Amino acid sequence: MNANRFKALVLRTGGTNCDLETKVALEELGVKTEIVHMNSVEKKNLLEYHLIVFPGGFSYGDYVRAGAVWGKRVLAKLRLELEKFIEEGRLILGICNGFQVLVEAGMLPGNGAGETPSIALANNSSAKYECRWVWLRVENDETPFTMTMRKGEVLRIPVGHAEGRFLTRSEEDLEELKRNGQVVFRYVLPNGDDANGLYPFNPNGSMYDVAGICNKKGKVMGMMPHPERAFFGWQLPEWDRRPPEKGDGRKIFESIVKYLHDSNGL
Amino acid sequence: MRVKVEVRLKPGHFDPEGDVAAKSLRDLGFPVSTVKVGKVYILEVEVDDREEALRLAEDMCKKLLANPVKDDYSVEVLSP
């Protein structure tokens, strides 16, 4: 697949990590990718890009709350452009800290931007930083991020976070997310059965084992696990025992590229 | 105006840091059943009106200092 005509923007700021891994993953699939620091993002026209990625890390030292400061900074600098970007149905992916940023900037689970979040990624119920491989089940295979997978498919991708416990304001809010198909990934047992909160398969105590959600249109997605850390076979735990050529995280990037092709960028 | 903002987890919300602190205090022999941990922000707000300072501080809580999904907050003017 020739994806050269598609462009991705990976944003970074102090404390960001895996921005380079994300760029390598996208470029491996032919997407031209730029890493841009928040300090120079105003020089860029966001609408030149087909995908924006907010990568993981510990932006602004996780002060106040993980993702809060970067989230508000994004609103202060990019709000109007991002609203247009989202309205046009372009893709935004938030990974780990990037998911927290999308929540804090109001881009998830809603369709627009705003300062007051309506969900939370709270401290893990283990009270620890959880860095481990987890199993995710695809709950919605119709988003641009999962369209090459089938519903029920299980992916193995690592997490590394201290604040990832997904919370909604009420059970009703959660039901609405489920009804809208906004729950994209759930933590499961290795065989694909529900984790029902069982640690360490659900590593953080998330409600309904939620690992990733999208907005109503499915074009903005945030997930706590790091797909770019499971892209190549040599990144997997069995790297020294004839690993497969590809990791499961690659499927998410492949799906994005297929979507861009099928939709001609939008 | 000097304003104090307190942000803490809503009642019933799981507070692992508080649980661990309570356990450690009990280890030391203190009769402590629960501990709730929060954050305190002391702000110098550049307005002269007391009510205005409180209103701004509440707005700050809604927009940055607290996540209303999991946090409660209170604001108080410390000194003019």
Residue A3 has pLDDT above 60, yes or no: no
Q: How far apart are CA A155 and CA B56, in angstroms?
A: 46
CATH of domain A7-263: 3.40.50.880
Write down the pLDDT at residue A108.
95
Average pLDDT over residues A129-145: 97
Round the average pLDDT of chain A to a whole number and report it.
Answer: 95
The CATH number linked to B21 is 3.30.1280.10
Write down the pLDDT at residue B79.
82
With pLDDT > 90 as the criterion, what percentage of chain A qualifies? 91
- pLDDT per residue as tens digits for the range A142-172: 999 999 999 999 999 999 999 999 999 999 9
Determine which one of A21, A139, A163, A228 is catalytic. A228
Q: How far apart are CA B41 and CA B61, in angstroms?
A: 10
Instruction: Report how many domains make up chain B.
Output: 1
- Quote the domain boundaries for residue B58: 2-79
Give this complex's ipTM. Answer: 0.86
Average pLDDT over residues A192-203: 98
Distance from CA of A164 to the nearest CA of B (A): 13
Residue A226 has pLDDT above 80, yes or no: yes
Average pLDDT over residues A54-73: 95
Q: Is A228 a catalytic residue?
A: yes
Q: Is A226 a catalytic residue?
A: yes
Residue B34 vs residues B15, B26, B29, B31, B39: alpha-carbon distances, Å: 10, 10, 14, 10, 17
Q: How far apart are CA A109 and CA A247, in angstroms?
A: 28
Place of tokens 């029902």: A196
Q: How far apart are CA A1 and CA B42, in angstroms?
A: 56
β-strands A183-188, A51-54: how paired? unpaired
Average pLDDT over residues A202-224: 97
- CB contact set of A249 (below 8 Å; sequence gap of 6+): A25, A155, A157, A225, A226, A227, A228, A229, A230, A231
E-only strand ranges, A13-153:
16-17, 32-37, 51-54, 56-57, 91-95, 119-123, 130-138
Higher pLDDT pick, B16 / A197: A197
Write down the pLDDT at residue A2.
59
Write down the pLDDT at residue A115.
77
Write down the pLDDT at residue A1.
52
Average pLDDT over residues A8-16: 97
Higher pLDDT pick, B19 / A96: A96
Q: What region does B64 belong to: left with phi over 0, alpha with psi -120 to 50, or beta?
A: alpha
Higher pLDDT pick, A237 / B17: A237
Type of residue found at A231: F
* Pick among B70, B72, B73 to test the A interface (most A CBs inside 10 A): B70
Domain boundaries, chain A: 7-263
CB contact under 8 A, A117 and B63: no
